[in-house]
């Protein structure tokens, strides 16, 4: 067998569409996961036991089961609970739920890393809990948790490959389909690896840029 780059050039439009679908579902899943994760972390830290207990069970259930199983439950099991979703919305929801518990743990550790004395000082000054979270805890914890956040976002990027199972035409599904039609598995899998490498590298570069900018911003803040 001879490596034939024409297999790729002849299907560039399909590969480009798959890349955009992967990028779109990944981005939407990350946004949903971050929002849900922040809500879960705040509820865990500041809620009562009635709220904390079911959230803890939810977190452990998601962390203890494979993403593939969760995706099947959302897409194929959803109609049993009145949740009828097309493949792409189901994939985004699945990614968001899966990522939310990991983001929640990252945010929780970030909140707990803020010095207790600052929170006590804020309480003495009459600052509300919401103001304390937004103006004191979140800015400081972002500096600490940014590397972990970027790592989790990269993990979700690679998990998009699983979305092909529910017929989402993302990069993995498109390229494996081309490989099955042409038997050019080396070419297609190589492009697939390069595609995910590009996405993860983009995420990594953005993370490094944000780390520098956030670090400079924090240095300018009054002590």
The two tokens of residue 219 are 């240095």
In a domain, 129, yes or no: yes
- Average pLDDT of the chain, as a whole number: 88
In a domain, 122, yes or no: yes
pLDDT at site 217: 60
How many Cα neighbours within 13 Å face the side chain of 146? 19
- Cα(117)–Cα(74) distance, integer angstroms: 43
Contact residues for 25 (Cβ-Cβ < 8 A; gap 6+): 88, 91, 92, 95, 160, 163, 168, 170
14-50 confidence digits (pLDDT tens): 999 999 999 999 999 999 999 999 999 989 888 888 8
In a domain, 55, yes or no: yes
In a domain, 27, yes or no: yes
Contact residues for 88 (Cβ-Cβ < 8 A; gap 6+): 21, 25, 168
Q: How many domains does the chain have?
A: 1
Q: How far is CA 129 from the centre of its chain?
A: 27
| Band of pLDDT at residue 215, cut at 50, 70 and 90 | low
Q: At what angle are helices 87-113 and 67-75 packed, to 10 degrees?
A: 130
Q: For the whole model, what pTM was predicted?
A: 0.88
- Is the pLDDT at 220 greater than 70, yes or no? no
What does the pLDDT average to over 195-210? 91
In a domain, 38, yes or no: yes
155-172 confidence digits (pLDDT tens): 999 999 999 999 999 999
The two tokens of residue 143 are 């500096």
- Is the pLDDT at 134 greater than 90, yes or no? no
- Residue 121's domain comprises 6-220
State the CATH number of the domain containing residue 182. Answer: 1.10.3720.10
pLDDT at site 54: 93
Under DSSP, is residue 168 helix (H, G, I), strand (E, B) or coil? coil
The two tokens of residue 14 are 């399909």
In a domain, 39, yes or no: yes
In a domain, 70, yes or no: yes
Q: Measure the N-to-C terminal CA separation of the chain; round to a whole number of Å.
A: 66
In a domain, 1, yes or no: no
């Amino acid at each position: 067998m001879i490596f034939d780059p024409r297999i790729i050039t002849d299907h560039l439009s399909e590969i480009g569409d798959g890349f955009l679908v992967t990028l779109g579902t990944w981005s939407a899943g990350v946004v949903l996961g971050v929002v849900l994760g922040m809500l879960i972390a705040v509820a865990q830290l500041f809620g009562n036991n009635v709220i904390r207990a079911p959230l803890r069970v939810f977190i452990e259930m998601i962390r203890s089961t494979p993403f593939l199983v969760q995706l099947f439950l959302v897409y194929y099991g959803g109609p049993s609970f009145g949740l009828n979703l097309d493949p792409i919305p189901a994939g985004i929801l699945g990614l968001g739920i899966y990522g939310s518990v990991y983001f929640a743990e990252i945010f929780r550790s970030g909140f707990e890393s803020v010095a207790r004395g600052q929170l006590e000082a804020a309480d003495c000054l009459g600052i509300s809990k919401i103001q304390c979270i937004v103006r004191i805890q979140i800015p400081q914890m972002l500096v600490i948790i940014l590397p972990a956040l970027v790592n989790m976002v990269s993990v979700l990027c690679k998990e998009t490959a699983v979305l092909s199972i529910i017929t989402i035409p993302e990069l993995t599904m498109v390229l494996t389909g081309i490989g099955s039609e042409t038997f050019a598995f080396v070419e297609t899998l190589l492009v697939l690896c390069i595609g995910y490498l590009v996405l993860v590298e983009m995420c990594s570069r953005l993370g490094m840029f944000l780390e520098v900018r956030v670090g400079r911003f924090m240095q300018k803040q009054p002590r």
